[in-house]
Structure 1
Amino acid sequence: MNDLYQSDYYVWAHRQAGLLRAGSFEQLDLEHLAAEVLDLAQQQRNELRWHVNQLLHYFLKSALYPERVSGRWLGKLYRHRRWIRKLVHEMPTMAPLLDGYINTAYAKATERLTAKARLPRSAFPEQLAHTKEHLLEQDFMPWTIISPTSTKPTR
C-alpha cells in the first residue's frame, strides 16, 4: 500500500476512501492517512492566512492610493473578507488565529507597500488602528485608515 502512495497518489486516495467506506480499517494505510489528515488541516490554516494577507495588502494599498481604488480592488476586498468569514464560520477553532495573522500580514504589507512607494515606514501606524471586526465588515472602507471621517476621493 505504501508503494501505491508513492507511485500513484490518486489511486491510493480512492482506494483508502473505498476501504473507509467498506469499514475495512485493518487494510488502511494509517501512517499516510494520518499525515494526509494533518495536511488538510494545515491547508485550511494556510488558506486563512493567505486571504488575510491579501485582504491587508489591498486594504493598505487602497488606503495609500485612494485615488486609484478601482472596482477590481474593491472586489478583491469583498472576496477576501467573504472567504475569511466563511472559513472562520466553518472552522470556528481557527478564529483565535486571526489576530496573529492580521498582525503579521499588516507588518508585511506595510513593509512591502512603503518600500514600493518609497515612503518612510511611518506612513502607516505601527499597529493597525482597526479591529478585525472592522476589517471584515463589508462597508468598512480602506481609506478610513488615515482618517475615520474621510471619504473616497472622486476621480
Structure 2
Amino acid sequence: MDNLYHTDFYRWKEQQKQHLIHKRFDQLDLKRLIEEVDDMGRSERNTLESHLVILLLHLLKYQYQTYVINPNLFEPKEFRSWYDSISQARMAISRLIRKNPSLQHEQDDAVHESYPDAKSGAIREMNKYLLKKYQLNEQSYPDTCPWSFDQIMQEDWLPEA
C-alpha cells in the first residue's frame, strides 16, 4: 500500500474508496487517509486566503491609484480596471464560504494571514509603473490590514484615502 500511495495516487485513492464501500476497514491505509482528510480542510483555507490576497491586492492598488496618483494627474483618470477583479474575487470568496460555511470562523484570521502577501504584491506591481523617486516600500501601506472582512466583502465598498 505504501508503494502504491507514492507511485499511483489515483489507484491508491480508488482502492481506499473500495475498502470503505465494502466495509473492509482493516485494509484501509488509515495514516494516509487521515493525512488526506486533513489536507482537504487545509486546501479550502488556502483557497480562501488565495482569493483574499487577490481582493486585498486590488483594493490596495485601487486605493493608491485613486488617491495618490490620480489627484496628481493633469487629467484625472478613473481606474475602472480594478472593479472587475475586485468583484470577481468577492464572488469567489462568497461562493467558497457558501459551499464551506465553517470557513466563516476563519475569515478574519485569513484576512490577517493574506494581507502581507497582498501588500508585497501591491508594492511590487505598482513599482513597475512608478519612477524610481516615487517607488513604494513597506511603509507605503499599513503593517496590518486596515479593513475588516465584512467591509471588504461589501459589494459596492471601495477604500478611501
> Counterparts of 1:2-151 in structure 2 under 5 Å?
2-66=2-66, 67-70=78-81, 73-114=82-123, 116=127, 117=130, 118-119=135-136, 121=138, 123-141=140-158, 144-146=159-161
1 CA distance for matches of 2:112 and 2:137?
Answer: 19
TM, length-normalised to structure 1: 0.77
Tell me if structure 2 keeps the 8 A contact 1:130–1:145: no
> Over aligned residue pairs, what C-alpha RMSD do you find?
2.2
Is the CA contact 1:129–1:145 (under 8 Å) kept in the aligned structure 2?
no
Percent of residue pairs bearing the same amino acid type: 27
C-alpha spacing 1:44/1:24, structure 2 compared with 1 (3 Å): same
Q: Classify the secondary structure of the residue corresponding to 1:49.
A: helix
What letter is aligned with 1:31? K
Structure 1, unmatched stretches of 5+, are 147-155
1:77-132 per-residue CA deviation (whole Å, 9 max, x = no partner) reads 12221222222233333223222221333344334434525135554445444331
Q: Distance in 2 between matches of 1:82 and 1:88?
A: 10
TM-score with structure 2 setting the length: 0.74
* 8 Å contact kept, 1:60–1:110: yes
Bigger Cα displacement from structure 2, 131-140 vs 102-111 = 102-111
1:21-55 CA deviation, whole Å, 9 max, x = no partner? 22222221111111111111111111111111111
In structure 1, what is the Cα distance between the partners aligned to 2:19 and 2:49? 33
Q: Residue 135 of structure 1 aligns to which amino acid in structure 2?
A: I
* Corresponding residue pairs, total: 142
Structure 2: give runs of 5+ residues left out of the alignment: 67-77
Tell me how far apart the structure 1 counterparts of residues 8 and 116 of structure 2 sit (CA, whole Å). 41
Conservation of the 8 A alpha-carbon contact between 2:123 and 2:137: yes
What is the alpha-carbon distance in structure 1 between the residues aligned to residue 157 and residue 10 of structure 2?
A: 44
